[in-house]
């Protein structure tokens, strides 16, 4: 392996990841310091109270619309201080799946439309429905499994920590940034490097090929639709979209079969890719053990919700 390939495969992607983590964390800190999440915190308050989540969960939910890194950092700090139990941390992190989805919604929509046309609306609508379903399930589970909350005001935490003007906000944001970024980088960099070399030596390729070789068990899909699943799993999302678009354009598959194939490819491929790309910075924000717990819960709930909406679409269309 030469230095050029090492830079293009590891150095540049890692530098880009660190840059975007840093920007997201700094912007998130500034938004938090300026109290711009106040209005969204008020909107989230009924759901937070209904799910027996704490005020920090509402504040983190609000922050997640702007920065997932900052939102998770808020939860990690509250957990470290004993303000959130392990169960409350898991529920709060899962509760953030809806704003996290909204962060990626515009990109996903404008990528799928050129390939799928009207079928893109159906596919994106189903994934949006799964995000809504996840939020509803978390609120219901919190209501059943978490203890009742003390009386209080959810947006109050945002009021108490508001900064007085831009100068104060910038000073507080920079102080928090320096404290948080050191911990994130100390763990993120070695884990990212380890995952890179696992990928180089074929570990993830083997897992993805295993999935691609065994998708034939899904005989309820037309044989041509299985090519969408294989490309989605063995290559990437856009490869699956390109295959789907070509089959749609040729009239080889109905839009319904294409949507079902993309949902299946999503279920099979995303958990492994999420681990590969999200685990390094998750482990930096939380500790590695907690990061694994949170990601397992996240991916289990995400996959389960997509399967449920996919089954509903399969039997109702």
pLDDT exceeds 60 at position 160: no
Instruction: Give CA–CA dist 22/27, Å, rounded.
Output: 8
Instruction: Give CA–CA dist 173/189, Å, rounded.
Output: 23
Tell me the two tokens of residue 286. 């939380």
| Range with the largest mean pLDDT of 34-43, 114-123, 171-180 | 114-123
Separation of CA 144 from chain center? 25
Question: Band of the pLDDT at 191, cuts 50, 70, 90?
Answer: confident
pTM recorded for the entire structure: 0.77
Question: Band of the pLDDT at 121, cuts 50, 70, 90?
Answer: very high
Q: Which DSSP letter does residue 96 get?
A: T
pLDDT exceeds 80 at position 138: yes
Q: Helices 68-80 and 86-95, interaxial angle, to 10°?
A: 170
Q: Which residue has the tokens 């390729």?
A: 205
Instruction: Give CA–CA dist 141/136, Å, rounded.
Output: 9
The values of phi and psi at residue 53, to 5°, are -90, 160
Instruction: Give CA–CA dist 288/294, Å, rounded.
Output: 10
pLDDT exceeds 80 at position 310: yes
pLDDT exceeds 80 at position 153: no
**Would you state the pLDDT for residue 155?**
47
Question: Band of the pLDDT at 252, cuts 50, 70, 90?
Answer: confident
pLDDT exceeds 90 at position 87: yes
């Amino acid at each position: 392996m030469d230095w050029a390939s090492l830079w293009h495969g590891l150095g540049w992607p890692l530098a880009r990841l660190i840059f975007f983590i840093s920007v997201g964390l700094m912007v998130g800190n500034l938004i938090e310091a300026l109290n711009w999440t106040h209005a969204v915190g008020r909107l989230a308050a009924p759901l937070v109270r209904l799910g027996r989540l704490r005020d920090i969960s509402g504040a983190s939910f609000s922050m997640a619309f702007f920065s997932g890194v900052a939102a998770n950092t808020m939860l990690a700090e509250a957990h470290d201080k004993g303000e959130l139990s392990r169960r409350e941390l898991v529920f709060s992190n899962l509760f953030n799946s809806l704003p996290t989805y909204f962060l990626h919604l515009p990109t996903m929509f404008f990528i799928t439309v050129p390939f799928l046309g009207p079928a893109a609306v159906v596919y994106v609508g189903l994934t949006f429905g799964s995000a809504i379903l996840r939020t509803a399930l978390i609120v219901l589970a919190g209501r059943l499994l978490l203890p009742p909350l003390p009386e209080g005001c959810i947006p109050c935490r945002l009021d108490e920590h508001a900064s007085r003007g831009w100068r104060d906000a910038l000073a507080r944001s920079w102080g928090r940034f320096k404290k948080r970024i050191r911990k994130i980088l100390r763990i993120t960099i070695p884990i990212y490097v380890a995952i890179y070399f696992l990928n180089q030596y074929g570990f993830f390729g083997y897992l993805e090929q295993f999935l691609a070789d065994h998708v034939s068990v899904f005989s309820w899909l037309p044989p041509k639709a299985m090519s969408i699943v294989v490309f989605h799993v063995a290559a990437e999302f856009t490869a699956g979209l390109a295959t789907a678009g070509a089959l749609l354009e040729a009239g080889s598959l109905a839009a319904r079969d294409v949507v079902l194939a993309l949902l299946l490819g999503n279920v099979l491929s995303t958990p492994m890719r999420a681990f590969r790309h999200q685990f390094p910075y998750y482990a930096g924000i939380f500790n590695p053990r907690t990061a694994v717990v949170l990601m397992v819960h996240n991916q289990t709930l995400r996959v389960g919700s997509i399967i449920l909406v996919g089954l509903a679409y399969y039997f109702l269309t």
